[in-house]
């Protein structure tokens, strides 16, 4: 791995724990103004010092994160469909590599839709993005998206999707936690980061973080379970305590304190 690539990777997966906490705020690219992310700067502001990296689009980066912030950026560079459109898998690259470099991104992220109508298009886009990213020393995070077909999130499917992403050259893969998640991690030769998913009770979200890292995940990319919580700062700190300091679920829950 060349110096630039390695240096960028180290901003996302921190060398001390070999894990990272990514704060996901890219939902608007296909979901519009998601609850609690209506005014992105107000959501991001209190949380930005507690994450290792921020996953977002260039639009939210430019408008809602001060350039003086030192937070490493994972720039979403794919899109082209929405929750009200015909087919969520119909994505392509929407932000070029020169722009990602200009915005001082530490990685670029795109979705692949294995088994969906536009599987081929998204996989070929991943290959091309990796070619461009390698030339720029820019890590690529492939997101194994399932669109509205949440039932796809089992170990067999996710192992397939993660492995394909790694074979195409992704440097990291973001996927979902599932029953038997160890199998997904074992068969993927690059670090796996776990997406949070829809809001659930805090203990449940922290259990997901604990069992993801126990299975070998290199961290989490969590959004709604942090910023839709009544106490987002306490919640991201609790997530960090598991990811970086190996706190138990009970310890992390206790650290939340009394409900807001
Ligand atoms: C997919 O890449 C999404 O846009 C989010 O980044 C991802 O689902 C993580 O956010 P959440 O924890 O809210 O599911």
User: pLDDT value at position 152?
Assistant: 72
Residue 101 has phi, psi (to 5 degrees) of -70, -45
For atom 10 of ligand 1, which residue has the closest CA? 223
Q: Which residue has the tokens 């990514």?
A: 22
Report the separation in Å between the CA atom of 70 and the middle of ligand 1, taken as the mean of its atom positions: 22
Q: From start to end of the chain, where are the E strands?
A: 20-24, 53-56, 73-76, 78-79, 92-93, 107-112, 140-144, 172-175, 192-195, 219-222
Q: Which two tokens stand for residue 118?
A: 């536009």
Asked if 152 is an active-site residue, the reply is no
Q: What is the length of the chain?
A: 260
For atom 7 of ligand 1, which residue has the closest CA? 195
Residue 97 neighbours by CB under 8 Å, 6+ apart: 108, 129, 132, 133, 135, 136, 138
Report the separation in Å between the CA atom of 101 and the middle of ligand 1, taken as the mean of its atom positions: 23
The closest-lying atom of ligand 1 relative to the alpha carbon of residue 25 is 6
3-state secondary structure of 193: strand
Report the separation in Å between the CA atom of 55 and the middle of ligand 1, taken as the mean of its atom positions: 9
User: pLDDT value at position 260?
Assistant: 65
User: pLDDT value at position 150?
Assistant: 67
**Residues in the ligand 1 pocket, defined by CB under 6 Å:** 24, 26-27, 55, 143, 195-197, 221-225
Any idea what DSSP says for residue 38? S
For a mutational test of ligand 1's pocket, the pick from 223, 228, 229, i.e. the residue with the most ligand atoms closer than 8 A to its C-beta, is 223
In b/e form, how buried is each residue of 113-130, taking b as 16+ CB within 10 angstroms?
A: bbebebeebbbebbeebb
Per-residue pLDDT of the chain (260 residues; tens, 9 = 90+): 799 999 999 999 999 999 999 999 999 999 999 999 999 999 999 999 999 999 999 999 999 999 999 999 999 999 999 999 989 999 999 999 999 999 999 999 999 999 999 999 999 999 999 999 999 999 999 999 987 676 778 999 999 999 999 999 999 999 999 999 999 999 999 999 999 999 999 999 999 999 999 999 999 999 999 999 999 999 999 999 999 999 999 999 999 987 76
User: pLDDT value at position 8?
Assistant: 98
CA 229 remoteness from chain centre? 18
- CATH placement of domain 3-256: 3.20.20.70
Q: Which two tokens stand for residue 55?
A: 């996953």
For a mutational test of ligand 1's pocket, the pick from 77, 148, 196, 226, i.e. the residue with the most ligand atoms closer than 8 A to its C-beta, is 196
Q: Which residue has the tokens 């087919």?
A: 87
Query: What is the DSSP pairing of strand 172-175 with strand 219-222?
Result: unpaired
User: pLDDT value at position 224?
Assistant: 98
For residue 206, how many other CB atoms are within 10 A of its CB?
A: 26
Q: Which residue has the tokens 């890590």?
A: 139
For a mutational test of ligand 1's pocket, the pick from 88, 195, 224, 225, i.e. the residue with the most ligand atoms closer than 8 A to its C-beta, is 195
Q: Can you give the residue ranges of every domain in the chain? A: 3-256
Q: Which two tokens stand for residue 164?
A: 């394909």
3-state secondary structure of 86: coil
User: pLDDT value at position 257?
Assistant: 87
């Amino acid at each position: 791995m060349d110096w630039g690539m390695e240096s960028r990777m180290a901003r996302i997966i921190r060398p001390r724990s070999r894990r990272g906490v990514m704060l996901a705020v890219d939902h608007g690219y296909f979901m519009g103004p998601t609850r609690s992310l209506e005014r992105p700067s107000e959501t991001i502001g209190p949380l930005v010092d507690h994450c290792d990296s921020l996953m977002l689009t260039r639009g939210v980066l430019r408008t809602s994160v001060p350039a003086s912030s030192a937070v490493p950026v994972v720039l979403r560079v794919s899109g082209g469909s929405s929750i009200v459109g015909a087919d969520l898998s119909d994505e392509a690259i929407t932000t070029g590599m020169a722009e990602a470099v200009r915005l001082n991104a530490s990685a670029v992220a795109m979705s692949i839709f294995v088994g969906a109508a536009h599987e081929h298009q998204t996989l070929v886009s991943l290959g091309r993005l990796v070619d461009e990213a390698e030339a720029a020393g820019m890590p690529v995070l492939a997101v194994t998206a399932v669109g509205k077909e949440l039932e796809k999130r089992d170990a067999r499917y996710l192992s397939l999707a993660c492995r394909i992403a790694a074979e195409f050259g992704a440097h990291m893969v973001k996927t979902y936690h599932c029953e038997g998640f160890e199998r997904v991690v074992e068969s993927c030769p690059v670090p796996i980061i776990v997406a949070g998913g829809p809001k659930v009770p805090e203990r449940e979200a922290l259990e997901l973080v604990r069992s993801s890292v126990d299975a070998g995940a290199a961290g989490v990319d969590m959004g709604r379970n942090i910023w839709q919580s009544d106490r987002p700062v306490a919640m991201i700190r609790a997530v960090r305590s598991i990811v970086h300091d190996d706190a138990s679920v009970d310890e992390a829950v206790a650290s939340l304190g009394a409900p807001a």
